[in-house]
Chain A
């Protein structure tokens, strides 16, 4: 009997490394999964690359490299501003990182982890107050400058080069500033953090307003859309409201314009202290079955069930408060999923302060869980105020 136990143990020990490798996303031979941060540093700003790894159910992040953006950030700003951008394709090779203080966009080659260049818009463009957001398609990159309220259009050239084409100035309804941005096909949707939202047609390069500027429904309750995401088919835009109870709003884009938004109060989950506070960021799962919501001021992440056919949202689950909330990090920023299919399996949360939260996701389609991993959070040392995070290969939309 004793011999049998020993034999089993030997077999297990021999197999263990290969089992470990099978669960490790950065296994030799497999392309690495990068988790990338815009560190937004005020004295020197980096994009930091981490490699996703760990066992199933126990994901980890390993620091890989800091790439100097050769620009300067501001260490904070709007939660919903996307400060990192890349094409939603595994073949994408260009990463764009905005530098809010120096006002430029750093272009990087993901395959070589090298800075390609820094690109400026017009002299009017200014994002020093709350950041520079970016979205792009195959041909153009759109940069929203929070202080000047301008959207600059750059053409995307070979080798990740950008060429500035021109600016438009936006005029939020209630005196706000451009914050959240999302692009699907020729539909560019932006939020102005004062309750108003607007969409633009980018078919001709420079955005043209769809003349649908409006106050979101939440405006009446002083809920201000901040982050925004668009479904893969471009049918719906989903807005994250800076609101005390977790609230998101959905707009139907099928008319080519923003339809009136429908607010969804994602009811209080049972496993967190109180309702989510300040639900300022959203991210659809790759299969669009779940909508992840960052509750920036309660240190929790919610997941709501999303019906991509109807655009309807129903309550799902929420994490417990993520570790080290308010000690030392203080807000949840952007969210990103590790896997490019399904629920994404692992969710990363930018923690302002600065670290990266790592959560395991499970879903049966009607119930779900969000559980912080044992190795979470991972310190993002070179960031004074992390708000933006992305994953490569990216979600395919």
Chain B
């Protein structure tokens, strides 16, 4: 009798497994469970000046109830998600991206359907059959933005306006890292207008590193953290149930144990963190048993700082990167790494405090991590944007973020407007809001006239942060994304003043600037800038 029962039980288990397997074909790799060890993403290194990568972007509802958008890389016969790409200055990144997104219309609410079929007309004077020549932007359309890389906005490189990859297509990117680009952390993510939020929410993001010397970090164990945010209903503009993840592991303490890492006692580490969330503003803090710790910030947005900053709290907006050295964990202590929460304003989205990781100490040498790879080339004599601070701006401009909405729950129209122009929801076929020339150096003051924080970002360039609310910054640094807090409702609008560097002739072309809260970008808070070669006006 017992044997029969065992047999029946085995049969039932097998049947259940078969049913489960047939119901859930594995399209995206399984993601780590909550409360497990955080490991670095798979590293891919350039060889002989080239990094060849084949990625497929696919999507699937996971057993966790979230829709996963996964950059799949085949490694030793296994699917690996969103590998880290490591290159040297001057190297070529050859990325063959296959779009395998399955996104039928019926999945989307009516309002979304109305907005989702956007169309980018071809470039003037070209044929629609040419590469990078626009087309429909469907839920299954994608492309890639190499965020922070100072590379040309042209076809097969970092163009997000005319490069639209449709489901079933494979597209070839060949991006040369500028020989004088700064060593540091960058990232890649989809940027098809109207679809970026859904795809990035689903996890489509990965880290890029340009190798080089970042003073003070040599030989230190290196950790890479990609912080994402997943939403139960990514198609709703309202921020419904969502959770932060660290290297795909949910950080949802106390509902579940936190992700954790094991560090060598008393061993400082080199942490490289990208905020790959679509709308979470992070305020990062490190706490050991003995108290809050100062972190030595050595690079921001992929650019080494002139002098390190010692901070116990680091604000990291969506798309921001920070590279830092942590103090060693004292013997017999534990720690936690968390975001302390961020107030995005009275009409902004909630950003509650959240523990991101627990930190445990060990003396086990097996837990030791590799350091960041040593550079293979000497640093450039004159890195990108060198001397920008002392340049005389050729033009000054004023821009502002604003919103209009039909109700407290939206839908909201989002604008970024050049002063004097009319607030306008971005459309793909808009003419450039700004036209300039290579060689120009411009100072832009960007105000926030809305009741929620925004996150200014421009493609192809880093900008020098010159002033905040009109007050000059003491030691201007380079960024590619920066927070402008909400307007309080009275008094001057919060603002930043940034210096834009269009001196590099490779920057010629048309590209975009926008709020990097991706809901806002998809909702129209974006505009084009056209940079003409300096011999054209």
Contacts and interface: CB of A to CB of B under 8 A. Distances in A.
A374 interface: no
Residue among B114, B345, B425, B486 with max Cβ neighbours from chain A (10 Å): B114
B490 interface: yes
Given A175-B110, A175-B111, A280 B406 contact: yes
B525 to A, nearest CB: 13
B347 to A, nearest CB: 5
Given A130-B409, A244-B423, A175 B113 contact: yes
B489 A326 contact: yes
A380 B346 CA distance: 18
Contacts of B490: 273, 321, 325-326
Interface in B461-492: 486-490
A194 B276 CA distance: 32
A226 interface: yes
B424 A222 contact: yes
Interface string B407-439: 111010101000000111100000000000000
A129 interface: yes
Interface string A211-238: 0000000000110101000000000000
Interface size class of A (residues with CB under 8 A): 35 or more
B450 interface: yes
A261 B404 CA distance: 20
Interface string B307-346: 0000000000000000000000000000000000000011
Nearest to A175: B114
A328 interface: yes
B406 A222 contact: no
B407 to A, nearest CB: 4
Residue among B424, B486, B488, B489 with max Cβ neighbours from chain A (10 Å): B489
B402 interface: yes
B422 A221 contact: yes
Contacts of A75: 408
Contacts of A79: 406-408
A297 B405 contact: yes
A128 to B, nearest CB: 10
B451 interface: yes
A393 B526 CA distance: 48
A34 interface: no
B406 to A, nearest CB: 4
B114 A76 contact: no
B158 interface: no
A231 B334 CA distance: 70
B450 A297 contact: yes
A80 B405 contact: no
Contacts of A330: 346-347, 408, 451
B522 interface: no
B99 interface: no
Contacts of A177: 111
B403 interface: yes
Residue among A224, A297, A299 with max Cβ neighbours from chain B (10 Å): A297
A198 to B, nearest CB: 16
A195 to B, nearest CB: 10
B408 A242 contact: no
B405 A130 contact: no
A11 B413 CA distance: 61
Contact of A244 (B111, B404, B406, B407): B404
A387 B425 contact: no
A273 B447 CA distance: 15
Contact of B407 (A130, A277, A353): A130
Interface string A127-156: 001110000000000000000000000000
Given A242-B404, A277-B449, A327-B346, 13 more contacts: A75-B408, A76-B409, A79-B407, A131-B407, A176-B111, A177-B111, A179-B407, A244-B415, A277-B402, A297-B403, A297-B451, A327-B488, A330-B346
25 contacts: A76-B409, A77-B408, A78-B409, A79-B406, A80-B407, A175-B113, A175-B114, A179-B406, A193-B406, A193-B407, A222-B404, A222-B413, A224-B406, A242-B406, A243-B404, A277-B402, A280-B405, A297-B347, A297-B451, A326-B345, A326-B486, A326-B488, A326-B489, A331-B408, A387-B408
Q: Which A-B residue pairs are the 7 nearest by beta carbons?
A: A326-B489, A175-B114, A76-B408, A78-B407, A193-B406, A330-B346, A325-B489
Interface of A: 74-81, 129-131, 174-177, 179, 193-194, 221-222, 224, 226, 242-244, 273-274, 277-278, 280, 296-297, 299, 321, 325-328, 330-331, 352-353, 385, 387
